[in-house]
Amino acid sequence: MVHCDLNMDPESCKASFDCGLHICALRLRARHAPRPHPGHLHKARDGPCEFAPVVIIPPRSVHNVTGAQVYLSCEVRAVPTPVITWRKVTQSPEGTRVLEDLPGDHVNIAVQVRGGPSDHEATAWILINPLRKEDEGVYLCHSANAVGEAETQGTVTVIDLSKYNAPRLPAPDDRM
- Render each residue's pLDDT in the chain as its tens digit; 176 residues: 344 444 555 444 443 334 444 556 666 666 666 666 666 667 777 888 899 999 999 999 999 999 999 999 999 999 999 999 999 999 889 999 999 999 999 999 999 999 988 999 999 999 999 999 999 999 999 999 999 999 999 999 999 988 876 666 666 765 55
**Residues 140, 76: contact at Cβ < 8 Å?**
no
**Model pLDDT, residue 86:** 98
At 163 the pLDDT is 83
Instruction: Indicate the DSSP class of residue 27.
Output: H
Task: Give the pLDDT confidence score for residue 137 in this predicted structure.
Answer: 96
Q: How far apart are the first and last CA of the chain?
A: 85
In which order are the strands placed within the sheet that holds 149-159?
62-65, 149-159, 137-144, 83-91, 97-102
Residue 89: the pLDDT is: 96
Where do the domains of the chain lie, and which CATH numbers do they carry?
1-46 (no CATH), 51-162 (2.60.40.10)
Dihedral sign computed on CA atoms, order 96, 100, 113, 66: negative
User: What pTM did the predictor assign?
Assistant: 0.71
> What pLDDT, on a 0 to 100 scale, did the predictor assign at position 115?
92
pLDDT value at residue 108: 98
User: Given this model, what pLDDT does residue 96 score?
Assistant: 93
